[in-house]
């Protein structure tokens, strides 16, 4: 469950990974972004030097954030070594996450035991959309998913991850993380409490969008999601 969009004009050495969230899809979560990149990325100075990887996983098959982190790190190892299906070595990485995928990215940043040494040193930027900083009340309605326990408000996994991030950041720092939170996001809610400012995060941007719309632009220009994407790649 993945899609790779490559430049048709030059062999790029930088790649952006997109990681979806709970019950998401490697393409559908991102709306028109894959199609817009395929049609326009080569002609835009902000995006022309990047290739784009959309990663997918089954929500049924994960139980912890580390399961998502392992997928991210496994693919980055292949990218950095130029293994198949990439066939070229990538030297720079950007991470985009949505919802649960943002917690997998946070886990990947601090779980140095599951990624090679180049991930943090070659990481350019990180942007997270709709991150469940204090879990999601909707997790209480989906007990048949193992990962739902890790999404309940103020759950032990989430609190442990925050502490892990704080400790890891002191020893192996990464670029400041940019957050985009939706003012109309009823999935993660507005009860962020003390978890609003995680170690290493920039002050969150508040967008007048809901949980899904914030990553579903309609056009290449005049779109908040695409503006964040371009800014992250620059």
pLDDT tens, position by position, 130-142? 999 888 888 888 8
**Burial class, 63, CB count within 10 angstroms (exposed 0-12 / middle 13-18 / buried 19+):** middle
pLDDT for position 191 = 53
**Element containing residue 171 per DSSP (H, E):** helix 156-171
Give the whole-angstrom CA distance, residue 97 versus residue 105. Answer: 7
pLDDT for position 146 = 93
pLDDT for position 112 = 85
- CA proximity to 185, closest of 209, 203, 154: 209
111-133 residues labelled b (16+ CB within 10 A) or e (exposed): beebbeebbbebbbbbbbbbbbb
| Peptide bond connecting 85 to the previous residue in cis, omega within 30 degrees of 0 | yes
Predicted confidence pLDDT, tens digits, the chain (234 residues): 899 999 988 899 999 999 999 999 999 999 999 999 999 999 999 999 999 999 999 999 999 999 999 999 999 999 999 999 998 999 999 999 999 999 999 999 998 888 766 899 999 999 999 999 888 888 888 888 999 999 998 899 999 999 999 999 999 999 999 999 888 888 876 555 544 678 999 988 888 888 899 999 999 998 999 999 999 999
pLDDT tens digits, one per residue of 162-198: 999 999 999 999 999 999 988 888 887 655 554 467 8
Looking at residue 133, the DSSP 8-state letter turns out to be B
Domains and CATH numbers, the chain: 2-233 (3.40.50.1820)
- CA proximity to 60, closest of 147, 152, 141: 147
pLDDT for position 125 = 98
């Amino acid at each position: 469950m993945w899609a790779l969009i490559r430049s048709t004009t030059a062999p790029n050495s930088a790649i952006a990974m997109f990681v979806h969230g709970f019950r998401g899809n490697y393409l559908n979560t991102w709306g028109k972004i894959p199609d817009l990149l395929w049609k326009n990325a080569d002609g835009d100075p902000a995006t022309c030097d990047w290739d784009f990887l959309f990663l997918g996983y089954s929500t049924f098959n994960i139980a912890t954030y580390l399961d998502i982190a392992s997928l991210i790190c496994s693919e980055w190892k292949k990218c950095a070594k130029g293994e198949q299906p990439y066939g070229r070595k990538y030297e720079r990485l950007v991470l985009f996450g949505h919802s649960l995928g943002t917690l997998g990215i946070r886990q990947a940043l601090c779980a140095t035991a599951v990624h090679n040494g180049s991930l943090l040193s070659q990481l350019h930027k990180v942007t997270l959309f709709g991150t469940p900083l204090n879990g999601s009340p909707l997790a209480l309605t989906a007990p048949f998913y193992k990962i739902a326990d890790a999404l309940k408000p103020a759950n032990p996994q989430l609190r442990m991850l925050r502490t892990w991030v704080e400790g890891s950041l002191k020893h192996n720092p990464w670029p400041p993380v940019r957050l985009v939170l939706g003012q109309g996001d009823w999935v993660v809610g507005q009860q962020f409490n003390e978890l609003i400012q995680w170690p290493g995060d920039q002050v969150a941007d508040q967008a007048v969008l809901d949980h899904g719309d914030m990553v579903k632009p309609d056009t290449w220009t005049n779109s908040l999601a695409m503006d964040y994407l371009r800014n992250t790649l620059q």
